[in-house]
Structure 1
Amino acid sequence: MDQKQILKQIYGFQTLRPGQEAIVEAANRGEDILALLPTGGGKSLCYQLPVLTVNGRALVITPLVSLMEDQVAELKRLKIKAVCIHSHLDIREKRMILDRLQQYHFIFCSPEWLATDRARAFISAVDFTHIIIDEAHCLSEWGYDFRPHYLLLNELLDYYAGAQVIALTATANDKTIHDIQHLLHRRLHVIDNRTVRENIFLKVLPAPSARKMSLLKELLWSAGPSIIYFSSKRMCDDIHQQLTSAGFKGMTYHADMSYEDRMGVQLSFQNDSIQYVCATSAFGMGINKKNIRTVIHYHVPKSMFQYVQEIGRAGRDGEQSQAILLFNAEDLNIAYRFLEEDRVTEQDLILYRDNIRLSEEKQESISILLRRFSYQELERLLTLETAVKYEALRAMTEYGAKDHCLTSRLYDVEEGCRHCQVCVGDQAFSFQTVLQQKTELGYKEYINSLFPA
């Protein structure tokens, strides 16, 4: 089948959207691409269609297991051969998949798995036509501290020098774009089709600590399907318990939960069995739920970058939605504390160089970083990254002050819009929540469906 036939017969579309069309045309020309599209803009089709057109094989690098499994499930629904490899699979499942790698058009994995000797031994025998880096902003946002394995992706690209690279993200600024190109060691054709999400109404509500909980309850009664973001896992659980006691139906999602429990939460939310999810920042990335009406931030996020990414999960169906920040300047203390606790410092580098024991996590991070940079260069980069993160927190303080158009603050556009509280005044929305009566979600059956027998 040619590309138009694939688009129509497999995906059910007559034409591509204008933003998608430019990206696919560049991919058809064989160019390495960094594609910027808004959340819900159809990024997945932009890499899947070119791969299928040449009957190719793509290694797709994604940050989250839930994101891998969502995309694999969708591809399998379309009768496209796809599989994901991650640490939560048992030995039998991994062996079965690895023995059949040549059969799949799309193989999904994380940068951490790719860094293992076992992974490299298997993928080195596969002739990939495409290397796809989904959520490519993670290279810049996470690479220097949280998930340094992202900084090793250039080694993979060097090995597959003949493979076409397609990197995709919904969130990027000039620094992020520069970082992605620099860290991958590839010159990428940047195609920027981001647009302001005008169907998401932006609000900031002053929320002193004593009033936050009551304000949240007031909002939820008419919020429709909602995500509530927290900086603290403990607060995430505590607030969920209080909401449950008040009669709301929801779940929590964070890293301290088991893989099975987290998948159960995601499936419950997708299936409209619950109204809300109290979550930390990982939840929602790539989630294929189009009717999220409200995104509430209980704590101030660490950057505009993160905020745009998270509120973009609302209104993927194009219908009216809202993003509400419960602003309390004291919350910034949490963000500053996390920044200092998590970052690799100059003192950490000195201790590492002198072979003085650090935490296992920092020990591994520094060893990976030193595969890319000298001590001197790394020290300079980490100082620069810290300054950038502090500036990002300062920008969130300015957003919370509501003294300028909120859209202009978030998207770096001219002031004056018709979908923010500053420009048009407060708007009250009443969204319906229709919950399905489902008690058993068949998690095991869902997981088994992702892998061929």
Structure 2
Amino acid sequence: MTTEEILQNIYGFSELRPSQKAVIEAIETGRDVLALLPTGGGKSLCYQLPVLKAAGRALVVTPLISLMEDQVAELKRLRLKAVCIHSYLDIREKRLIYHQLQDYQFIFCSPEWLATDKARATVAQLNLTHMVIDEAHCISEWGYDFRPHYLLLHEIIKPGMQVIALTATADDKIIRDINQLLRRELLLIDKREERRNIFLSVCKSPDKLKEIESLLDTSGPTIIYFSSKKRCNEVHQLLSKRYKGMTYHADMTYEDRMSVQLAFLGDRIHYVCATSAFGMGVNKSNVRTVVHYHTPKSVLQYIQEVGRAGRDGEEAQAILLYDEEDLHLSYRLLQEEHLSESDFNLYLNGAQLTAEKMERLSILRANFPDREVLNVLRKEYHTKLAALRKMAEYGQLTACLSHQLYNGEQSCTHCEYCQGRRLFTFETFKEVHENDDRVAYIKSLFKQG
């Protein structure tokens, strides 16, 4: 089928967005491609259409189970053959999937699964035409830290397999890291753009809870981000006395997290108090407000998270509740999470570190000489420290906020510094009394194409 026939017959579209067209045309040249598109810019179609047109089979690496399942459910809705493999599947489910893997055109998995012997033996038997890496910035941002299996992806890429990496979040360092760690030279297609429909503001209120409560009366569907799971739960407990919402963080079960996503997507709750994992794969176009209770770790993280507002192109707002004391939490988390030179020396001398640190250091040593490992650890620490300082500058509101995020013009029409404080009145949340659609969602995952 032609591009036009695939668009019309499968997706129900008459044409591509200009940014999507540029990315797809680059992929169809056969080059390995790194595509940078804004949040909500239609990244999934950019890899799906070329795979379908080539009658190929793609291995799609994604960082979160929720992201996998969201995309698999959507592909199955389109009657396309897709499946995901993750740790929450039981042995029988995995056995059935392995047995039928040749029947699927899109196979979703995590980098951790790809590091297992079973996965490598299975993948080696598949006739894969494409390796797709969704949220590709994770290779750089997470690969050196708590998700080191991203550093092993290059071992899966075989000759003749085209690499398609996609992300909305990248700076020059991340782009270099993606090329170096995948050991490929990817053609860069940068179609990111400033989200001018999102009004940016910073609030330094001494009472963050009171500020959030005043916002929720007119905020529309809202995400409130936290760096602390404890504070996330505490604030939700206080807000839930007046508003209908839920929490989302890593300590929750898979089933509970799915329930939160479905409730939010279905407009059955007003807000979600969440840590940074929430939002990837949550294809909700009408989020009107994104609030950051704590200052995030970097401008790139902030851009990605505020980009979950206003994906329908309508007006939205992003508010940072800035407090210098919060930066101490961020600095402490950085100290706790990063691998130090001391950790590396202890490891070389046979000391028993935590299992997580042992695995991270083992993978780093497999990819770099010992002297280079130390350089990598130092560079990553200082990069993250600099990123925190840049977010502190943003929080102190001394220049155009949009310029500080996007490095564009020094004056804009959509930030508090340039336009003054704005008060938005979005549609008041109305509780929708519907049957929980988890059953329909789960059925969609097993719908035959």
Alpha-carbon distance between aligned partners in 2 of 1:207 and 1:378, rounded to the nearest angstrom: 43
Counterpart in the other structure of 2:160: 162
AA partner of residue 394 (structure 2)? Y
**In structure 1, C-alpha distance between the alignment counterparts of 2:13 and 2:441, rounded to whole Å:** 26
CA offsets 1:172-207 (integer angstroms, 9 cap, x no match): 111111111111101100000000000000000013
Match of 1:240 in 2: 236
Q: Give the secondary-structure state (helix, strand or coil) at the position aligned to 1:251.
A: strand
Is 1:393 matched with 2:391? no
The 2-side partners of 1:162 and 1:385 are apart by 32
Cα distance in 2 between the residues matched to 1:439 and 1:119: 40
Counterpart selection for 1:179 from 164, 177, 180: 177
Q: Cα distance, 1:32 vs. partner?
A: 0.6
SS of the aligned residue for 1:391 comes to helix
- Once the two structures are superposed, the pairs formed by residues 310-325 of structure 1 within 5 Å of their partners are 310-325=305-320
Q: CA deviation at 1:435?
A: 3.6
Aligned counterpart, 2:96: 96
Q: Which runs of 5+ in 1 are unaligned?
A: none
Matches within 5 A, 1:327-346: 327-346=322-341
Distance 1:383 1:143 in 2: 15
In the alignment, is the contact (CA less than 8 A) between 1:292 and 1:313 conserved in 2? yes
Matched ranges for 1:208-219 at <5 A: 208=206, 211-219=207-215
Amino acid at match of 2:397: K
CA distance, structure 2, for counterparts of residue 90 and residue 327 of structure 1: 44
Would the aligned equivalents of 1:275 and 1:433 in 2 still touch at CA under 8 Å? no
Provide the rounded CA distance (Å) in 1 between the counterparts of 2:443 and 2:13: 29
Cα deviation digits, residues 152-185 of structure 1 (max 9, x gap): 111112xx22111100000111111111111110
Letter in 2 for 1:360: A
- Give the superposition deviation at 1:444: 5.0
- What is the CA-CA distance between 1:285 and the residue it aligns to? 1.0
Please provide the CA RMSD for this pair.
1.1
Partner secondary structure for residue 189 of structure 2: strand
Instruction: Give the paired residue count.
Output: 448
Compute the displacement of 1:271 (Å): 0.6
Structure 2 counterpart SS, 1:187: coil
Q: Which residue of 2 aligns with 1:223?
A: 219
Q: What is the CA deviation profile of residues 78-122 of structure 1, one whole-angstrom value per residue up to 9, with x for unaligned ones?
A: 111101110001111111111111111100000001101111111
After TM superposition, give the deviation of residue 443 of structure 1 in Å.
2.9
Q: Does 1:205 align with 2:200?
A: no
What's the offset of the Cα at 1:437?
A: 3.1
After TM superposition, the runs of 4+ consecutive aligned structure 1 residues lying more than 6 A away are: none
- Determine helix, strand or coil for the equivalent of 1:35: strand
TM-score (norm 2): 0.98
Distance verdict in 2 for CA 1:364–1:448, change over 3 Å: farther
CA offset at residue 438 of structure 1? 4.0
Measure how far apart 1:275 and its partner are: 0.6
User: SS where residue 234 of structure 1 aligns?
Assistant: helix
Q: CA deviation at 1:404?
A: 0.5
- Tell me which amino acid in the other structure corresponds to 1:200: I
- Structure 1 segment 3-402 matched on structure 2, within 5 A: 3-157=3-157, 160-208=158-206, 211-245=207-241, 247-402=242-397
One-letter amino acid of the structure 2 residue matched with residue 4 of structure 1 = E
Change (3 A) 1:121 1:13: same
Percent of pairs with identical residues: 59
Displacement of 1:351 in angstroms is 1.0
Aligned partner letter, 2:172: D
Q: Is this contact kept in 1: 2:76–2:447, CA < 8 A?
A: no
Provide the C-alpha distance between the structure 1 equivalents of 2:221 and 2:297, rounded to a whole number of angstroms: 24
Question: How far is 1:446 from its partner?
Answer: 2.3
Task: Give the CA deviation at 1:413.
Answer: 1.3
Following the alignment from structure 1 to structure 2, what is the Cα–Cα distance between the partners of residues 440 and 306?
Answer: 35
| Code of the aligned partner of 1:119 | A
Letter in 1 for 2:287: I
Moved more, 366-375 or 68-77: 366-375
Instruction: In structure 1, give the amino acid aligned to 2:219.
Output: A
TM-superposed CA distance for 1:370, in Å, is 1.2
**Cα distance, 1:384 vs structure 2:** 0.6
Q: Aligned partners of 2:425, 2:301: CA distance in 1, in Å?
A: 26
Q: 1:202 to 1:89 in 2, by over 3 A?
A: same
Q: CA shift at 1:355, angstroms?
A: 1.1
Q: Are 1:431 and 2:423 counterparts? A: no
